[in-house]
Structure 1
Amino acid sequence: MSLFRVDKTTNFEGPHQSTPILKGGSESSEAEVAMILIHGRGATADSILTLADELDIDKKLTLRAPQASQNTWYPYSFMAPSDNNEPNLSSALQKIFDIIQELKTDGFSEENIYLTGFSQGACLISEFVARHPKKYGGLIALSGGLIGTGDSVNQQDYEGDLEGTPVFMGCSDVDPHIPKERVDESESVLNMLNANVTKKFYPGMGHTVNQDEIDHINQMINK
Protein backbone atom coordinates (compact mmCIF):
# COMPACT_ATOMS: atom_id res chain seq x y z
CA MET A 1 0.00 0.00 0.00
CA SER A 2 1.48 3.35 -0.99
CA LEU A 3 1.78 5.99 1.70
CA PHE A 4 -0.34 9.14 1.59
CA ARG A 5 1.73 12.13 0.50
CA VAL A 6 0.65 15.74 0.40
CA ASP A 7 1.15 18.08 -2.55
CA LYS A 8 -0.34 21.37 -3.72
CA THR A 9 -3.36 19.58 -5.20
CA THR A 10 -4.20 17.31 -2.25
CA ASN A 11 -6.14 19.64 0.10
CA PHE A 12 -6.99 16.80 2.49
CA GLU A 13 -9.81 17.74 4.88
CA GLY A 14 -9.81 16.25 8.36
CA PRO A 15 -9.98 17.04 12.08
CA HIS A 16 -6.86 19.23 12.21
CA GLN A 17 -7.58 21.59 9.32
CA SER A 18 -9.61 24.01 11.45
CA THR A 19 -7.35 24.06 14.52
CA PRO A 20 -5.22 27.12 15.36
CA ILE A 21 -1.54 27.64 14.58
CA LEU A 22 0.28 29.58 17.29
CA LYS A 23 3.15 31.90 16.44
CA GLY A 24 6.19 32.85 18.48
CA GLY A 25 9.70 34.20 18.25
CA SER A 26 10.52 36.91 15.74
CA GLU A 27 8.16 38.24 13.13
CA SER A 28 8.53 36.50 9.77
CA SER A 29 9.69 39.73 8.16
CA GLU A 30 12.61 39.94 10.61
CA ALA A 31 13.52 36.26 11.04
CA GLU A 32 16.37 34.43 9.33
CA VAL A 33 15.05 30.91 9.96
CA ALA A 34 11.76 29.28 10.94
CA MET A 35 10.86 26.34 13.16
CA ILE A 36 7.70 24.25 13.20
CA LEU A 37 7.05 22.69 16.63
CA ILE A 38 4.75 19.66 16.96
CA HIS A 39 3.44 18.80 20.43
CA GLY A 40 2.90 15.34 21.88
CA ARG A 41 -0.25 13.39 22.70
CA GLY A 42 -2.39 15.16 25.28
CA ALA A 43 -0.26 18.31 25.14
CA THR A 44 -0.81 21.70 23.50
CA ALA A 45 0.77 24.08 21.03
CA ASP A 46 1.37 26.44 23.95
CA SER A 47 3.36 23.81 25.79
CA ILE A 48 5.68 22.95 22.89
CA LEU A 49 6.31 26.64 22.22
CA THR A 50 7.97 26.87 25.64
CA LEU A 51 10.73 24.59 24.32
CA ALA A 52 12.04 27.56 22.36
CA ASP A 53 12.62 29.39 25.68
CA GLU A 54 15.43 26.90 26.37
CA LEU A 55 17.21 27.51 23.08
CA ASP A 56 20.26 29.73 22.61
CA ILE A 57 20.02 30.69 18.94
CA ASP A 58 22.23 33.30 17.28
CA LYS A 59 19.81 33.74 14.38
CA LYS A 60 16.40 35.40 14.53
CA LEU A 61 13.87 32.59 14.65
CA THR A 62 10.14 32.61 13.90
CA LEU A 63 8.04 29.80 15.35
CA ARG A 64 4.87 27.99 14.30
CA ALA A 65 3.11 25.48 16.57
CA PRO A 66 -0.12 23.89 15.32
CA GLN A 67 -2.68 22.58 17.78
CA ALA A 68 -3.99 19.04 17.34
CA SER A 69 -7.72 18.45 17.45
CA GLN A 70 -8.57 17.16 20.93
CA ASN A 71 -4.83 17.41 21.74
CA THR A 72 -4.03 14.26 19.78
CA TRP A 73 -2.60 13.96 16.27
CA TYR A 74 -3.81 10.40 15.79
CA PRO A 75 -5.78 8.16 18.17
CA TYR A 76 -3.73 4.97 18.45
CA SER A 77 -0.09 3.99 18.87
CA PHE A 78 2.36 4.91 16.14
CA MET A 79 2.85 1.14 15.75
CA ALA A 80 -0.86 0.41 15.22
CA PRO A 81 -2.20 -0.42 11.73
CA SER A 82 -2.06 2.83 9.77
CA ASP A 83 -5.75 2.69 8.79
CA ASN A 84 -6.67 2.83 12.49
CA ASN A 85 -5.10 6.30 12.71
CA GLU A 86 -7.00 7.76 9.77
CA PRO A 87 -8.23 10.31 8.87
CA ASN A 88 -6.27 12.01 11.66
CA LEU A 89 -2.81 11.09 10.40
CA SER A 90 -3.36 12.34 6.86
CA SER A 91 -5.01 15.46 8.25
CA ALA A 92 -1.94 16.12 10.40
CA LEU A 93 0.42 15.66 7.45
CA GLN A 94 -1.66 18.13 5.44
CA LYS A 95 -1.48 20.59 8.35
CA ILE A 96 2.33 20.53 8.37
CA PHE A 97 2.49 20.85 4.58
CA ASP A 98 0.24 23.91 4.69
CA ILE A 99 2.40 25.59 7.36
CA ILE A 100 5.48 25.04 5.20
CA GLN A 101 3.70 26.56 2.22
CA GLU A 102 2.75 29.60 4.30
CA LEU A 103 6.34 30.00 5.46
CA LYS A 104 7.53 29.76 1.86
CA THR A 105 5.09 32.54 0.98
CA ASP A 106 6.76 34.56 3.75
CA GLY A 107 10.11 34.06 2.06
CA PHE A 108 11.57 30.97 3.77
CA SER A 109 12.92 28.11 1.70
CA GLU A 110 12.76 24.57 3.11
CA GLU A 111 16.51 24.86 3.78
CA ASN A 112 15.70 27.55 6.35
CA ILE A 113 12.85 25.63 8.01
CA TYR A 114 13.52 23.37 11.01
CA LEU A 115 10.99 20.69 11.95
CA THR A 116 10.85 19.73 15.63
CA GLY A 117 8.60 17.37 17.56
CA PHE A 118 8.35 15.63 20.91
CA SER A 119 6.85 12.17 21.49
CA GLN A 120 3.79 11.75 19.22
CA GLY A 121 4.86 15.03 17.62
CA ALA A 122 8.33 13.58 16.93
CA CYS A 123 6.75 10.55 15.27
CA LEU A 124 4.52 12.76 13.14
CA ILE A 125 7.22 15.19 12.03
CA SER A 126 9.65 12.34 11.26
CA GLU A 127 7.00 10.67 9.15
CA PHE A 128 6.29 13.91 7.32
CA VAL A 129 9.95 14.40 6.44
CA ALA A 130 10.40 10.78 5.35
CA ARG A 131 7.33 10.95 3.09
CA HIS A 132 8.25 14.39 1.69
CA PRO A 133 12.04 14.29 1.36
CA LYS A 134 13.96 17.37 0.28
CA LYS A 135 16.63 19.60 1.77
CA TYR A 136 15.28 20.99 5.06
CA GLY A 137 17.09 23.10 7.61
CA GLY A 138 16.88 20.15 9.97
CA LEU A 139 14.70 17.51 11.61
CA ILE A 140 14.71 17.25 15.41
CA ALA A 141 12.89 14.15 16.71
CA LEU A 142 12.78 14.04 20.51
CA SER A 143 11.53 10.69 21.81
CA GLY A 144 9.97 9.49 18.58
CA GLY A 145 10.35 7.43 15.43
CA LEU A 146 8.69 6.67 12.13
CA ILE A 147 5.09 5.51 12.06
CA GLY A 148 4.59 1.89 11.00
CA THR A 149 2.53 -1.19 11.74
CA GLY A 150 3.85 -3.69 14.25
CA ASP A 151 7.49 -4.28 15.01
CA SER A 152 9.04 -2.66 11.95
CA VAL A 153 8.72 -0.04 9.25
CA ASN A 154 8.95 -0.95 5.59
CA GLN A 155 11.88 0.86 3.98
CA GLN A 156 10.38 0.18 0.56
CA ASP A 157 7.52 2.56 1.42
CA TYR A 158 9.93 5.51 1.33
CA GLU A 159 11.81 7.06 -1.57
CA GLY A 160 13.49 10.33 -2.44
CA ASP A 161 16.45 12.42 -1.34
CA LEU A 162 16.83 14.46 1.85
CA GLU A 163 19.99 15.93 0.33
CA GLY A 164 22.01 15.76 3.52
CA THR A 165 19.35 17.29 5.77
CA PRO A 166 20.74 17.23 9.32
CA VAL A 167 18.68 15.06 11.66
CA PHE A 168 18.94 14.74 15.42
CA MET A 169 17.17 11.86 17.16
CA GLY A 170 17.29 11.76 20.95
CA CYS A 171 15.52 9.21 23.14
CA SER A 172 15.79 7.25 26.37
CA ASP A 173 17.08 3.72 25.96
CA VAL A 174 14.16 2.53 28.12
CA ASP A 175 11.39 4.87 26.93
CA PRO A 176 8.04 3.22 27.78
CA HIS A 177 6.39 4.64 24.64
CA ILE A 178 9.18 4.53 22.03
CA PRO A 179 11.01 1.21 21.55
CA LYS A 180 14.74 1.61 21.01
CA GLU A 181 14.48 -0.68 17.98
CA ARG A 182 12.01 1.69 16.27
CA VAL A 183 14.43 4.60 16.70
CA ASP A 184 17.17 2.46 15.12
CA GLU A 185 14.90 1.52 12.21
CA SER A 186 13.93 5.14 11.70
CA GLU A 187 17.58 6.12 11.57
CA SER A 188 18.13 3.49 8.87
CA VAL A 189 15.28 4.82 6.73
CA LEU A 190 16.45 8.43 7.07
CA ASN A 191 20.02 7.43 6.20
CA MET A 192 18.67 5.56 3.18
CA LEU A 193 16.99 8.83 2.16
CA ASN A 194 20.40 10.57 2.39
CA ALA A 195 19.91 12.41 5.68
CA ASN A 196 22.83 13.24 7.96
CA VAL A 197 21.62 11.57 11.16
CA THR A 198 22.90 12.02 14.69
CA LYS A 199 21.21 9.62 17.12
CA LYS A 200 21.68 9.53 20.89
CA PHE A 201 20.21 7.20 23.49
CA TYR A 202 20.22 8.41 27.09
CA PRO A 203 20.53 5.62 29.68
CA GLY A 204 17.59 5.44 32.05
CA MET A 205 16.12 8.80 31.03
CA GLY A 206 12.38 9.29 31.37
CA HIS A 207 10.02 10.38 28.60
CA THR A 208 11.33 13.93 28.55
CA VAL A 209 13.80 16.36 26.95
CA ASN A 210 17.23 16.91 28.51
CA GLN A 211 19.85 19.63 28.25
CA ASP A 212 22.12 17.64 25.94
CA GLU A 213 19.28 17.44 23.41
CA ILE A 214 18.75 21.20 23.69
CA ASP A 215 22.47 21.68 23.08
CA HIS A 216 22.25 19.58 19.90
CA ILE A 217 19.37 21.73 18.64
CA ASN A 218 21.37 24.90 19.32
CA GLN A 219 24.39 23.51 17.49
CA MET A 220 22.31 22.44 14.50
CA ILE A 221 20.67 25.82 14.01
CA ASN A 222 23.68 27.99 14.86
CA LYS A 223 25.87 25.97 12.51
Structure 2
Amino acid sequence: MSAIVPATCKATAAVIFLHGLGDTGHGWAQALAAIRAPHVKYICPHAPVMPVSLNMNMAMPSWFDIVSLRPDAEEDESGIRRAAESIRELIDEEVKNGIPSHRIVLGGFSQGGALSLYSALTARQKLAGVVALSCWLPLRNSLSQSVVVSNKEISVLQCHGEADPVVPPILGRLTVQTLQTMLNPDNITFRTYPGVPHSACAEEMEDIERFIEEQLPPVNQ
Protein backbone atom coordinates (compact mmCIF):
# COMPACT_ATOMS: atom_id res chain seq x y z
CA MET A 1 0.00 0.00 0.00
CA SER A 2 1.10 3.58 -0.61
CA ALA A 3 0.15 7.12 0.31
CA ILE A 4 -0.37 8.89 -3.02
CA VAL A 5 -0.40 12.57 -3.97
CA PRO A 6 -2.03 12.54 -7.42
CA ALA A 7 -1.03 14.91 -10.21
CA THR A 8 -3.39 17.85 -10.62
CA CYS A 9 -3.37 17.41 -14.41
CA LYS A 10 -2.39 14.44 -16.60
CA ALA A 11 0.49 12.65 -14.84
CA THR A 12 3.53 12.51 -17.12
CA ALA A 13 6.11 11.82 -14.38
CA ALA A 14 6.32 10.22 -10.94
CA VAL A 15 8.33 10.38 -7.74
CA ILE A 16 8.52 7.21 -5.64
CA PHE A 17 9.69 8.19 -2.15
CA LEU A 18 10.59 5.74 0.65
CA HIS A 19 10.22 6.67 4.33
CA GLY A 20 12.66 5.93 7.14
CA LEU A 21 12.67 3.22 9.82
CA GLY A 22 9.54 3.11 11.98
CA ASP A 23 7.65 5.62 9.84
CA THR A 24 4.96 5.40 7.15
CA GLY A 25 4.54 7.05 3.78
CA HIS A 26 1.95 9.57 5.05
CA GLY A 27 4.36 12.18 6.47
CA TRP A 28 6.46 12.31 3.31
CA ALA A 29 3.33 12.44 1.14
CA GLN A 30 2.36 15.61 3.04
CA ALA A 31 5.86 17.10 2.72
CA LEU A 32 5.96 16.38 -1.03
CA ALA A 33 2.43 17.75 -1.53
CA ALA A 34 3.80 21.11 -0.33
CA ILE A 35 6.37 21.18 -3.19
CA ARG A 36 4.34 19.29 -5.80
CA ALA A 37 4.51 19.94 -9.54
CA PRO A 38 1.10 19.63 -11.26
CA HIS A 39 2.18 16.95 -13.79
CA VAL A 40 3.94 14.72 -11.22
CA LYS A 41 2.37 11.87 -9.24
CA TYR A 42 3.99 11.21 -5.83
CA ILE A 43 3.92 7.66 -4.46
CA CYS A 44 5.01 7.04 -0.85
CA PRO A 45 4.81 3.31 -0.10
CA HIS A 46 4.58 1.93 3.44
CA ALA A 47 7.28 -0.56 4.52
CA PRO A 48 6.24 -3.95 5.90
CA VAL A 49 6.35 -4.44 9.69
CA MET A 50 9.23 -6.64 10.91
CA PRO A 51 11.51 -7.10 13.93
CA VAL A 52 14.58 -4.82 13.74
CA SER A 53 17.86 -5.92 15.39
CA LEU A 54 19.00 -2.31 15.93
CA ASN A 55 15.91 -1.66 18.08
CA MET A 56 16.08 -4.77 20.29
CA ASN A 57 14.05 -6.82 17.80
CA MET A 58 10.96 -4.65 18.23
CA ALA A 59 8.58 -4.97 15.28
CA MET A 60 8.15 -1.76 13.27
CA PRO A 61 7.81 -0.59 9.65
CA SER A 62 11.17 -1.40 8.05
CA TRP A 63 12.38 -2.05 4.51
CA PHE A 64 15.02 -4.54 5.75
CA ASP A 65 16.75 -5.46 9.01
CA ILE A 66 19.44 -3.14 10.41
CA VAL A 67 21.99 -4.58 12.81
CA SER A 68 23.97 -1.36 13.36
CA LEU A 69 24.78 1.90 11.56
CA ARG A 70 28.54 1.56 11.97
CA PRO A 71 30.34 1.64 8.58
CA ASP A 72 31.65 -1.92 9.15
CA ALA A 73 28.34 -3.37 10.40
CA GLU A 74 26.94 -6.68 9.20
CA GLU A 75 24.13 -6.12 6.68
CA ASP A 76 20.87 -7.89 5.86
CA GLU A 77 21.86 -8.74 2.29
CA SER A 78 18.88 -10.94 1.41
CA GLY A 79 16.44 -8.43 2.95
CA ILE A 80 17.99 -5.52 1.04
CA ARG A 81 17.86 -7.41 -2.26
CA ARG A 82 14.26 -8.46 -1.64
CA ALA A 83 13.23 -4.88 -0.76
CA ALA A 84 14.96 -3.51 -3.89
CA GLU A 85 13.07 -6.03 -6.01
CA SER A 86 9.76 -4.81 -4.55
CA ILE A 87 10.72 -1.19 -5.41
CA ARG A 88 11.56 -2.19 -8.98
CA GLU A 89 8.12 -3.85 -9.19
CA LEU A 90 6.58 -0.52 -8.12
CA ILE A 91 8.48 1.19 -10.94
CA ASP A 92 7.18 -1.42 -13.42
CA GLU A 93 3.65 -0.75 -12.17
CA GLU A 94 3.98 2.96 -12.99
CA VAL A 95 5.38 2.10 -16.42
CA LYS A 96 2.24 -0.01 -17.00
CA ASN A 97 0.22 3.06 -15.91
CA GLY A 98 1.81 4.99 -18.78
CA ILE A 99 4.73 6.77 -17.09
CA PRO A 100 8.06 5.75 -18.69
CA SER A 101 10.81 4.80 -16.22
CA HIS A 102 13.05 7.66 -17.41
CA ARG A 103 10.32 10.01 -16.09
CA ILE A 104 10.50 8.52 -12.58
CA VAL A 105 12.62 9.88 -9.72
CA LEU A 106 13.31 7.47 -6.86
CA GLY A 107 13.98 8.92 -3.42
CA GLY A 108 13.97 8.28 0.28
CA PHE A 109 14.95 9.34 3.78
CA SER A 110 17.37 7.44 6.06
CA GLN A 111 16.71 3.69 5.55
CA GLY A 112 14.42 4.61 2.66
CA GLY A 113 17.18 6.73 1.11
CA ALA A 114 19.59 3.82 1.45
CA LEU A 115 17.14 1.53 -0.34
CA SER A 116 16.45 4.10 -3.07
CA LEU A 117 20.18 4.35 -3.86
CA TYR A 118 20.66 0.58 -3.93
CA SER A 119 17.49 0.04 -6.00
CA ALA A 120 18.49 2.67 -8.58
CA LEU A 121 22.04 1.33 -8.97
CA THR A 122 20.85 -2.24 -9.50
CA ALA A 123 17.75 -1.43 -11.59
CA ARG A 124 17.42 -2.47 -15.23
CA GLN A 125 14.95 0.40 -15.72
CA LYS A 126 16.51 3.72 -16.72
CA LEU A 127 15.47 6.31 -14.11
CA ALA A 128 15.40 10.12 -14.11
CA GLY A 129 17.18 10.61 -10.79
CA VAL A 130 17.61 9.74 -7.12
CA VAL A 131 17.00 11.88 -4.03
CA ALA A 132 18.95 10.35 -1.11
CA LEU A 133 18.40 12.06 2.25
CA SER A 134 20.33 11.44 5.49
CA CYS A 135 21.39 7.97 4.37
CA TRP A 136 24.11 5.54 3.34
CA LEU A 137 24.76 3.08 0.49
CA PRO A 138 23.90 -0.50 1.53
CA LEU A 139 26.09 -3.44 0.49
CA ARG A 140 28.62 -0.94 -0.88
CA ASN A 141 31.48 -3.45 -0.65
CA SER A 142 29.70 -5.88 -2.98
CA LEU A 143 28.69 -3.16 -5.45
CA SER A 144 30.96 -2.16 -8.28
CA GLN A 145 30.77 -0.22 -11.51
CA SER A 146 29.86 -3.42 -13.37
CA VAL A 147 26.63 -3.75 -11.34
CA VAL A 148 25.27 -0.47 -12.71
CA VAL A 149 23.71 -1.29 -16.07
CA SER A 150 21.08 1.31 -16.94
CA ASN A 151 21.81 4.25 -14.65
CA LYS A 152 25.51 5.14 -14.99
CA GLU A 153 24.48 8.69 -16.01
CA ILE A 154 21.73 9.09 -13.40
CA SER A 155 21.49 12.41 -11.51
CA VAL A 156 21.78 12.08 -7.73
CA LEU A 157 20.90 14.66 -5.09
CA GLN A 158 22.31 13.55 -1.76
CA CYS A 159 21.51 15.63 1.34
CA HIS A 160 22.64 15.30 4.97
CA GLY A 161 22.20 17.33 8.16
CA GLU A 162 25.60 18.14 9.67
CA ALA A 163 24.25 17.53 13.20
CA ASP A 164 22.74 14.09 12.42
CA PRO A 165 23.24 11.85 15.50
CA VAL A 166 21.52 8.81 13.94
CA VAL A 167 23.20 8.42 10.53
CA PRO A 168 26.56 10.20 11.03
CA PRO A 169 27.45 12.67 8.24
CA ILE A 170 30.64 10.65 7.62
CA LEU A 171 28.41 7.86 6.23
CA GLY A 172 26.97 10.38 3.76
CA ARG A 173 30.46 11.47 2.70
CA LEU A 174 31.65 7.86 2.27
CA THR A 175 28.55 7.19 0.18
CA VAL A 176 29.31 10.12 -2.15
CA GLN A 177 32.90 8.89 -2.59
CA THR A 178 31.65 5.40 -3.52
CA LEU A 179 29.00 6.75 -5.90
CA GLN A 180 31.64 8.88 -7.66
CA THR A 181 33.53 5.70 -8.58
CA MET A 182 30.39 4.03 -10.01
CA LEU A 183 28.50 6.89 -11.69
CA ASN A 184 29.36 10.03 -13.63
CA PRO A 185 30.67 12.28 -10.80
CA ASP A 186 29.41 15.39 -12.63
CA ASN A 187 25.84 14.19 -12.02
CA ILE A 188 26.21 13.82 -8.23
CA THR A 189 25.32 16.74 -5.94
CA PHE A 190 26.04 16.48 -2.20
CA ARG A 191 24.50 19.12 0.07
CA THR A 192 24.90 19.44 3.83
CA TYR A 193 22.89 21.60 6.21
CA PRO A 194 24.56 23.11 9.31
CA GLY A 195 22.82 22.38 12.61
CA VAL A 196 20.23 20.04 11.05
CA PRO A 197 19.70 16.73 12.95
CA HIS A 198 18.21 13.51 11.52
CA SER A 199 15.41 15.30 9.67
CA ALA A 200 14.75 17.47 6.64
CA CYS A 201 14.76 21.28 6.74
CA ALA A 202 13.07 23.97 4.61
CA GLU A 203 16.25 24.68 2.60
CA GLU A 204 16.60 20.96 1.86
CA MET A 205 12.97 20.74 0.66
CA GLU A 206 13.66 23.67 -1.69
CA ASP A 207 16.71 21.82 -3.06
CA ILE A 208 14.56 18.71 -3.58
CA GLU A 209 11.85 20.74 -5.33
CA ARG A 210 14.46 22.27 -7.68
CA PHE A 211 16.03 18.86 -8.41
CA ILE A 212 12.65 17.29 -9.25
CA GLU A 213 11.78 20.24 -11.52
CA GLU A 214 15.10 19.82 -13.37
CA GLN A 215 14.81 16.04 -13.77
CA LEU A 216 11.06 15.91 -14.50
CA PRO A 217 10.18 19.01 -16.54
CA PRO A 218 6.66 19.25 -18.01
CA VAL A 219 6.25 17.65 -21.43
CA ASN A 220 4.19 19.17 -24.21
CA GLN A 221 0.85 17.40 -24.31
Q: Secondary structure at the match of 2:20?
A: coil
Instruction: Give the superposition deviation at 1:171.
Output: 0.6
1:81 aligns with 2:74: yes
* Structure 1 CA distance for aligned equivalents of residues 99 and 145 of structure 2: 26
Q: Could you say which residue in structure 1 is the equivalent of 2:25?
A: 45
TM-score scaled to structure 2, two decimals?
0.79
Q: Deviating runs (4+, > 6 A) in structure 1?
A: none
Q: Could you say which residue in structure 2 is the equivalent of 1:33?
A: 13
Cα RMSD for the two superposed structures: 2.3
1:213 aligns with 2:204: yes
1:127 aligns with 2:118: yes
Q: Rate the CA distance shift 1:134–1:142 in 2: closer, same or farther, 3 A.
A: same
Instruction: Give the superposition deviation at 1:135.
Output: 4.0
Q: Could you say which residue in structure 1 is the equivalent of 2:95?
A: 104
Q: Could you say which residue in structure 1 is the equivalent of 2:213?
A: 222
Q: Could you say which residue in structure 2 is the equivalent of 1:24?
A: 5
* Structure 2 CA distance for aligned equivalents of residues 191 and 132 of structure 1: 18
* Structure 2 CA distance for aligned equivalents of residues 126 and 172 of structure 1: 18
Deviations 1:13-35 (A, max 9, x none): xxxxxxx23332228x9212101
Q: Could you say which residue in structure 1 is the equivalent of 2:52?
A: none
1:192 aligns with 2:174: no
* Structure 2 CA distance for aligned equivalents of residues 86 and 136 of structure 1: 23
Q: Which piece of structure 1 moves more, 120-129 or 191-200?
A: 191-200
Instruction: Give the superposition deviation at 1:66.
Output: 1.6
One-letter amino acid of the counterpart of residue 91, structure 1: R
Task: Check the 8 A contact 1:166/1:220 in 2, yes or no.
Answer: no
Instruction: Give the superposition deviation at 1:147.
Output: 1.3
Task: Check the 8 A contact 1:131/1:158 in 2, yes or no.
Answer: no
TM-score scaled to structure 1, two decimals?
0.78
Deviations 1:152-180 (A, max 9, x none): x3275443252432211111123112222
Q: Where does the alignment leave 5 or more consecutive residues of structure 2 unmatched?
A: 50-60, 215-221
Q: What is the identity percentage for the equivalent residue pairs of Structure 1 and Structure 2? A: 24
Q: Could you say which residue in structure 2 is the equivalent of 1:63?
A: 42
* Paired residue total: 196
